[in-house]
Amino acid sequence: MSSTPQSHSSLDLWPYEEARKLAERVRHYEAQRPVIFESGFGPSGLPHLGTMCEVLRPSYVRHAFEVLGEIHPARLIVFIDDMDGLRKVPENIPNREAITPYLGHPVCRIPDPFNHCHDSFASHMVALLRTFLEPVEVEYELLRASEMYASGRFDEGLRRIIENYQQISDIVTPTLREENRSGWSPIMPLCPRCGQINSTLVTACHGERAAVEFSCQRSFGGAHGCGFIGEQSILRGLAKVQWKVDWALRWYMLKVDYELYGKDLIDSARLSGQILRLLGGKPPLGFPFEMYLDEQGHKVSKSIGRGIGVEQWRRYAPIEVLKYFLILNPRRARKLFLQAIPQYVDEYLMALREWAPADAAARRNSPLEFVLQSGSARSFNSTISFGLLMNLVPAVSSSNRELLWSYVISYDPQIADDPDTEKLTRTLLECALNFYRDFIEPAKITYTPATSEHPQLRALSDWLDANRSASAEEIEKQIYDFGRQHYDKPGNIFPLLYRVLLGQDRGPRLGPFIRLATPERIASVLRSHPA
């Protein structure tokens, strides 16, 4: 199709909306002044798909910013808060008992519990994060808090914070619970004796020499201060700031222009913006997104090990499906768990079918503009669904890939005519096999039809044998006809067929499914059940 010019205002996906706001913010910048996007990762637990969301979504806005033709270079910084003290030991890491004595210590100074293959707990998590992000091909720069503090790159901001110590305290303290207000300090010195950072209590501050007096006396999550009392500089990694203040510090020192955050951080972002203005900075743009929920409706959490890993996802679906899922309306809460993947895959296939024949303007305004990457299939010229492929395995009673592939090609010979369609279908078949083995097969039930159900099964078996070239629509119509003959409601025949054919109470549309598995194969299965 021929393409037609497209105005920027006609690009209405949310990344374009955000990019236009950002373009207005930076229009007075010098041409070489980079536009800074930021995302954060707390390495106190394993990265999960919520983590990936926090990196991918700002990258989508950056891509939209570049599509709009902006002249400013753009950088995406992933900031690792590895100076944060460990508040509790995550449930999904090994050697938990060996980590417990380090509660309250910065995670960059805690030994690696994973066979000591890295120099710290934090370094192991950072390595996992890099591996985790590699499949989605996003360009980013990684900065670690421990290096920023220790190198002195944060010193200017730290000096401004201690100079505004009381004003910052006046902003934050009223928002805290009553029991947490006494002794709250924006600065957290690192105890030189025990190495804890969560146990220290600031008793005086000296802005002129950027130092604090403090005692190590707090109890925190089962950890206890060592009793040290003294004065210490807050520069060069000897202290960090509380996280709301730390957010403002990052924004100030890195000159951040854009950052997304979960809706649970709306108040924190507002407070951090107030603190940033005290320091002399301008809060970044961004908007709060809704949370990802697990199958029980709980927020995905790395601290208690609740969430999906990227390798788990890739076992059951292409990585592009994840990217597609993450670009959909960020203001809507969505469940993100493994058993929901088949639905997401079929949504993605529908979008890809529409994208391939579209003109250039429509493609640019499609979510797939942000999803497709090197090696991605860019067309899908088949009506086959992931749900059908998953149900093909039990119907054929085989995991032989070439046998299954022969059924797929018999169902839709055009799949082999397009390399992208064939490539993606083979990937989906492999994912379907994995999903079936891991989730469906363990829950299968063996169903023995009642004597009263034998006539229905026999009638359909005989009809399929006599009509082996019937279309999916003809098969579906005939099943309804048998349902009318044998039940008060025609749809009541479907649970029987699902139990007999798939060992489950629900399933795909039976017309396309039987066409895929072939009428003769299904007729044979139906005949094997009645006595």
CATH number for the domain spanning 484: value is 1.10.10.350
Asked if residue 219 and residue 147 are part of one domain, the reply reads: no
Residue 242's alpha-carbon distances to 161, 185, 187, 434, 514, in angstroms, are 11, 8, 6, 45, 61
Measure the CA–CA gap between 191 and 87, rounded to whole angstroms: 16
236 and 247 co-located in one domain: no
pLDDT for 78: 97
In a domain, 476, yes or no: yes
pLDDT higher for 296 or 285?
285
Predicted pLDDT of residue 306: 47
Strand partners, 38: 77
* Residue 300 placed within a domain: no
pLDDT at 146 over 70: yes
Please report whether residue 256 resides in a domain: yes
- Do 137 and 210 share a domain, yes or no? no
* Domain CATH for 149: 3.40.50.620
At 7, the pLDDT band (50, 70, 90 cuts) reads low
- Which residues on neighbouring strands pair with residue 80, listed in sequence order? 41, 144
Rg (CA), the chain: 29
Strands 334-335 and 292-293: parallel
- What pLDDT does residue 5 have? 42
Least trusted range by pLDDT, from 133-137, 386-390, 497-501, 503-507 = 503-507
Domain around 498: 451-527
Q: Poorest-confidence range of 157-161, 302-306, 318-322, 456-460? A: 302-306
- Mean pLDDT computed over every residue of the chain: 90
High-pLDDT (> 70) share of the chain, %: 95
Q: What is the pLDDT of residue 150?
A: 97
Where does the pLDDT of residue 505 fall: very low under 50, low under 70, confident under 90, or very high at 90 and above? confident
**Residue 423 scores a pLDDT above 90:** yes
d(CA 104, CA 224): 9
Per-residue model confidence as pLDDT tens digits over 154-180: 999 999 999 999 999 999 999 999 988
- Range of weakest confidence among 281-285, 331-335, 350-354: 331-335
118 lies in some domain = yes
Residue 1: pLDDT over 70: no
Question: 335-348 burial by CB neighbour count: b if 16+ within 10 A, else e?
Answer: ebbbeebbebbbeb
* 70 and 116, same domain (yes or no): yes
Check whether 246 has a pLDDT greater than 50: yes
- Coil, strand or helix: which one is 333? coil
Check residue 302 and give its pLDDT: 45
- Do residue 86 and residue 18 come from a single domain? yes
pLDDT in tens, 256-279: 999 998 888 999 999 999 999 999
Per-residue pLDDT at 298: 55
Number of domains in the chain: 4
Give the chain's end-to-end CA distance (angstroms, integer).
58
In the predicted structure, residue 351 carries a pLDDT above the cut 60: yes
Closest by CA to 285, choosing from 12, 20, 80, is 20
Q: Which band of pLDDT confidence, cut at 50, 70 and 90, is reported for residue 219?
A: confident
Give the model's pLDDT for residue 440: 81
- The reported pLDDT for the residue numbered 305 is 40
Where do runs of H (alpha helix) occur along 164-287? 165-172, 178-181, 243-254, 266-279
234 and 270 share a domain?
no
pLDDT of residue 283: 97
Residues 457 and 409 in one domain: no
Given pLDDT bands bounded at 50, 70 and 90, which one contains residue 394?
Answer: confident
Which residue from 382, 327, 379, 328 is spatially nearest to 358, judged by alpha carbons?
A: 379
Same domain membership, residue 199 and residue 75:
no
Q: Looking at the domain assignment, is residue 1 inside a domain?
A: no
Same domain, 85 and 214: no
User: In the structure encoding, which two tokens stand for residue 169, read together?
Assistant: 């305290």
Maximum mean pLDDT: which of 254-258, 404-408, 430-434: 254-258
Residue 93 vs residues 124, 305, 380: alpha-carbon distances, Å: 11, 8, 40
State whether 105 and 192 are in the same domain. Answer: no
For residue 406, tell me if it sits in a domain: yes
